[in-house]
Amino acid sequence: MGVDLESISEATSGAIGSLLSTTILYPLDTCKTKYQAEVQAHGQRKYRNLSDVLWEAVSTGQVLSLYQGLGTKNLQSFIAQFVYFYGYSYFKRLYLENSGSKSIGTKVNLILAAGAGACTAIVTQPLDTASSRMQTSAFGKSKGLWKTLTEGTLSDAFDGLGISLLLTSNPAIQYTVFDQLKQRLLKQKLKKADHDSSPVVLSAFTAFLLGAISKSIATFLTYPAIRCKVMIQAADPEDDDDDDKTKRAQSKSRKTVPGVVSAIWRREGILGFFKGLDAQITKTVLSSALLLMIKEKITATTWVLILAIRRSLLLRNGRLKNV
């Protein structure tokens, strides 16, 4: 089987879109992650709302710390989106070729998207864990990628993998809803368009809107698992006293799904599982909408460039054979 250029084009445009959207919204992502990671203790909490995190960075002169872990997050995001879009596009093409179907139903679409998401989670989990620890570290005290990855055991680098696999349902729901809405809109436009007109594509605003709707639905349905994952991957608090080992042991015992669920239930009640939902929706909706909007706009350009590169390589090989 040759190289699937269409899947590579989808993966590349998706990865570039992810890189740009992650960079633009990273300060909001840092505030959101630190807010989600905190569990109320003895009726008190450090951050009562998202703006408290931002104010802490401003008041302590650590505004640039809102970007701590950006490089790791971008690397993780680029690889994750490339793997996901390549896998998703490749699985769809493989299914259509083997099944003989002309279209993909919602159930099959969910399965294919979940499969692509599972591959992505396994490949990028260490980077995902490292970026979460860097974001939730005290402002100005974030460690580098290598030190963050090597300060614990190999299993520590895969903290939250189980929930990450469970959360493959999030992009599966998101992209399935997006694709279904997109196909319906394109069919309507195609009926109105002339046969000799240019290819029918979504406008930037429409792609943004569909991305926002699809991500809102996916985020709401999976949010309790999202918050548990953030808490599992969060950096341990800095301790300098003799009780450090005890506190670390207690912290480690809480970094499991049962431990996190128990902590949230005891200290915050059922509403605690939805703490930060508004911040999560704001960030992820903007990020996903930007990603899909950018992807839709650059996919055609990416495809043309890949074909041009392929043609150039074929011509060069042909010349070499004739020499």
Co-location of 165 and 268 in the same domain = yes
* Cβ–Cβ under 8 Å, residues 187 and 280: no
Interval 178-204 mean pLDDT: 75
Interval 14-41 mean pLDDT: 83
Most distant CA pair in the chain: distance in Å?
80
* Cβ–Cβ under 8 Å, residues 149 and 156: no
- b/e map of 40-65 (b: 16 or more CB within 10 Å)? beeeebebeebeebbebbeeeeeeeb
Nearest CA among 27, 22, 127 for reference residue 67: 27
* Cβ–Cβ under 8 Å, residues 7 and 70: no
Co-location of 174 and 262 in the same domain = yes
Residue 192's pLDDT is: 73
In a domain, 109, yes or no: yes
> Could you say which of 124, 153, 182 is where a domain stops?
153
Residue 47 or residue 226, greater confidence? 226
Task: Name 189's Cβ contacts closer than 8 Å, sequence gap at least 6.
Answer: 200
Query: Distance between CA atoms of 37 and 76, rounded to whole angstroms?
Result: 20
> Could you say which of 127, 153, 179 is where a domain stops?
153
In a domain, 50, yes or no: no
pLDDT tens-digit profile of 257-293?
888 888 888 888 888 899 888 888 888 778 767 777 7
Co-location of 71 and 148 in the same domain = yes
Residue 42's pLDDT is: 55
Interval 13-19 mean pLDDT: 77
Task: Name 19's Cβ contacts closer than 8 Å, sequence gap at least 6.
Answer: 74, 77, 78, 81
Co-location of 178 and 266 in the same domain = yes
Q: Which residues pair with 44 in a beta bridge?
A: 41
Q: Which residue has the tokens 């939902």?
A: 277
Residue 245's pLDDT is: 47
Residue 246's pLDDT is: 46
Co-location of 122 and 186 in the same domain = no
Co-location of 146 and 182 in the same domain = no
In a domain, 99, yes or no: yes
Residue 40 pLDDT grade (very low, low, confident, very high; cuts 50, 70, 90): low
Q: Average model confidence (pLDDT) for the chain?
A: 79
Co-location of 104 and 74 in the same domain = yes
Is residue 242 over pLDDT 60? no
Q: Which residue has the tokens 């979504």?
A: 202
Interval 62-74 mean pLDDT: 90
Residue 218's pLDDT is: 87
In a domain, 72, yes or no: yes
Reduced 3-state DSSP string for the chain: CCCCHHHHHHHHHHHHHHHHHHHHCHHHHHHHHHHHHCCCECCECCCCCHHHHHHHHHHCCCHHHHHCCHHHHHHHHHHHHHHHHHHHHHHHHHHHHHHCCCCCCHHHHHHHHHHHHHHHHHHHHHHHHHHHHHHHCCCCCCCCHHHHHHCCCHHHHCCCHHHHHHCCHHHHHHHHHHHHHHHHHHHHHHHHCCCCCCCCCCCHHHHHHHHHHHHHHHHHHHHHHHHHHHHHHCCCCCCCCCCHHHHHHHHHHHCCHHHHHHHHHHHHCHHHHHCCHHHHHHHHHHHHHHHHHHHHHHHHHHHHHHHHHHHHHHHHHHHHHHC
Query: Distance between CA atoms of 143 and 149, rounded to whole angstroms?
Result: 10
In a domain, 14, yes or no: no
Instruction: Give how far Cα 48 sits from Cα of 34, 38, 41, 51, 195, Å.
Output: 12, 10, 12, 8, 57
| Total tally of structural domains belonging to the chain | 2
Q: Which residue has the tokens 């390549």?
A: 86
Co-location of 175 and 264 in the same domain = yes
Co-location of 162 and 141 in the same domain = no
* Domain coverage including residue 203: 158-190+199-235+254-274
Task: Name 18's Cβ contacts closer than 8 Å, sequence gap at least 6.
Answer: 77, 78, 80, 81, 291
